Amino acid sequence: MNDILDTGIKNAKNVDRYIFGPDSLKEISSLVQKRIQHQNDFCVFFIDQFFQGNAEIIDQVKLDCKNNTIFIETSDEPTTGYIDDLCKKVKSFSTKLPAVIIGMGGGITLDVAKAVANLLTNEGCAADYQGWDLVKNPSVFKIGIPTLSGTGAEATRTCVLTNKENGLKLGMNSDFSVFDQIILDPNLTKTVPRDQYFFTGMDAYIHSFEALNGAYRNPVGDAFSKISIEYAKDVFQSEQMQSEENRSKLMVASYMGGAAIATTYVGLVHPFSAGLSVVFGLHHCVSNCMTMRAMEEFYPDEYNDFWSMAKIQDIKVPRLHGDILENDPDDRTYEKLYNSTIIHEKPLTNALGSDFKKILTTEKVCEMFKMI
Ligand SMILES: [Fe+2]
């Protein structure tokens, strides 16, 4: 274990308010109404395209004010270009800014809502704000409603975006990215497909153990991480991972994991997972789980726990060689994988110290991707 390092995060920001509980979605109307002061005030409702045509869910979101609904594409992870386009679209609705932005869906939709809310009050384009503390002005008031548990997007101070031009996968890390209000309603995760429930839920487990095994620490963040790990293990070691009790527990684990990561950094899993996402377009949560194949050397206990939970739940984690690719990647692809992994300096320093490149040589990184 390295010496404890200072995260530089002196004054941690969490979500201002949250409502928790089955059926809490019905509070949305009164929460939005509180922000509507003038006749032409309006809100924008971003919802995961997964719910397009799902009247049962959409009808539950009763908004009495003027509102515009935009279905968010979730087949690919959001790009900076997509955020720029959405921002233009929202600006075309009115000469005024929306009074409220609502994001309802998985991590992608929540991140899109955060990024657009930031960009509406800050000049330029989304790529200008990828990094740490670059957002200058507070965003439009934003409400997050997760319909999947695990990424912690409802609690974090980032919104992950891929810049297709330079291959950079990096969020707008800013206090202004934190939601003003979230609604945690476990009824919303009832119909999540089993595989997706497992892969996404594991994000909370993974980034919490990365934080606890890292050198950048925060005692409050450590406590959040410990609870997140405990709850995620309770859920995934039980027979009915999607029982009502377990859906509630995983929603709390996700929120706690997100709050933990807002005070520190991830470790080795996320940079490798980002490499898979950037090079092969694989989704974040499934990439994390695939990356776990290469983690025995670095996180032996968690490696064993993870694979035992996948076995208990009978979840098949795809293999890069076989399920995703027919042939072995060529040298150029390995070079891209190396570059898009090693770029994540803070998490890699968190996991291995500032000399991480001495451990993660090109050969070592390729060897690890071969295990995935
Ligand atoms: Fe994650």
Instruction: Render pLDDT for 140-173 as a digit per residue (tens, 0 to 9).
Output: 999 999 999 999 999 999 999 988 888 788 899 9
**Contacting residues for 255 by C-beta, under 8 A, at least 6 apart:** 18, 152, 154, 155, 182, 184
Report whether 113 contacts 70 (CB < 8 A): no
Domain stop point among 141, 168, 189: 189
Q: Say whether both 57 and 88 belong to one domain.
A: yes
Answer whether residue 139 is part of any domain: yes
| Residue type for position 89 | K
* C-alpha to C-alpha distances, 34 to 20, 26, 42, 141, 179, nearest whole angstrom: 19, 14, 12, 11, 16
118, 139 contact by CB (below 8 A):
yes
Q: Which amino acid is at 240?
A: Q
- Whether the per-residue pLDDT at 309 is higher than 50: the answer is yes
Lowest mean pLDDT among 48-57, 193-202, 252-261: 48-57
182 and 55 part of one domain = yes
Q: Quick check: 195 pLDDT over 80?
A: yes
Q: b or e along 267-292 (b: 16 or more beta carbons within 10 Å of the residue's beta carbon)?
A: bbbbbbbbbbbbbbebbbbbbbbbbb
- Domain holding 264, by residue range, is 194-371
What does the pLDDT read at residue 7? 79
Task: Tell me, in angstroms, the distance from the centre of ligand 1 to residue 295's CA.
Answer: 16
Q: Give the Å distance between the CA of 347 and the centre of ligand 1.
A: 12
Instruction: Tell me, in angstroms, the distance from the centre of ligand 1 to residue 200's CA.
Output: 9
Cα 177 to chain centroid distance, Å, stands at 12
Q: How far does the centroid of ligand 1 lie from the alpha carbon of residue 158, in Å?
A: 11
Q: Give me ligand 1 centre to Cα 270, in Å.
A: 6
Q: 109 alpha carbon to ligand 1 midpoint, in Å?
A: 14
CA 232–ligand 1 middle distance (angstroms)? 14
Q: Evaluate if residue 1 carries a pLDDT over 50.
A: no
CATH number of the domain where residue 106 is located = 3.40.50.1970
Q: What is the mean pLDDT of the chain?
A: 94
Q: What integer is the mean pLDDT of 187-215?
A: 96
- Asked whether residue 110 is domain-assigned, the answer is yes
- Shared-domain flag, residues 214 and 332: yes
In this structure, the answer to whether residues 83 and 158 fall within a common structural domain is yes
Is 2 a domain residue? no
Does 242 fall in a domain?
A: yes
What is the C-alpha separation between 227 and 206, in angstroms, rounded? 13
Picking from 137, 157, 189, the residue at the C-terminal end of a domain is 189
Return the pLDDT at 368: 97
In a domain, 214, yes or no: yes
Is the per-residue pLDDT at 183 higher than 50? yes
Cα(78) to ligand 1 centroid in Å equals: 14
63 & 123 share domain = yes
The alpha carbon of 179 is separated from its chain's Cα centroid by a whole number of angstroms, namely 13
Per the structure, the count of domains in the chain is: 2
Does residue 266 have a pLDDT over 90? yes
Question: Is residue 163 domain-shared with residue 244, that is, in the same domain?
Answer: no
Q: What is the structure's pLDDT at 159?
A: 95
State the distance from the centre of ligand 1 to the C-alpha of 206, rounded, in angstroms.
7
Sign of CA dihedral 143, 230, 77, 343: positive
Same domain for 238 and 101?
Answer: no
Residues 343-370, mean pLDDT to the nearest whole number: 96
- Residue 117 CA to ligand 1 center (angstroms) comes to 21
Question: What's the gap in Å between 39 CA and the centre of ligand 1?
Answer: 40
Out of 160, 189, 218, pick the residue that ends a domain. 189
Ligand 1 centroid – CA 371 distance (Å): 20
Same domain, 244 and 169: no
pTM over 0.85: yes
Q: How confident is the model at residue 132 (pLDDT cuts 50, 70, 90)?
A: confident
- Looking at the structure, do residues 128 and 272 belong to the same domain, yes or no? no
3-state secondary structure (DSSP) of residue 53: coil
C-alpha 57 – ligand 1 centre gap (Å): 26
What's the CA gap between 107 and 2, in Å, rounded?
A: 31
Are residues 121 and 268 part of one domain? no
63: CA distance to ligand 1 center in Å? 31
CA of 223 to the centre of ligand 1 (A): 18
Distance from Cα 51 to the centre of ligand 1, integer Å = 23
At residue 187, the pLDDT reads 95
Give the pLDDT confidence of 99-117 residue by residue, as tens digits. 999 999 999 999 999 999 9
Amino acid present at 169: K
Distance 204 CA to ligand 1 centre (A): 7
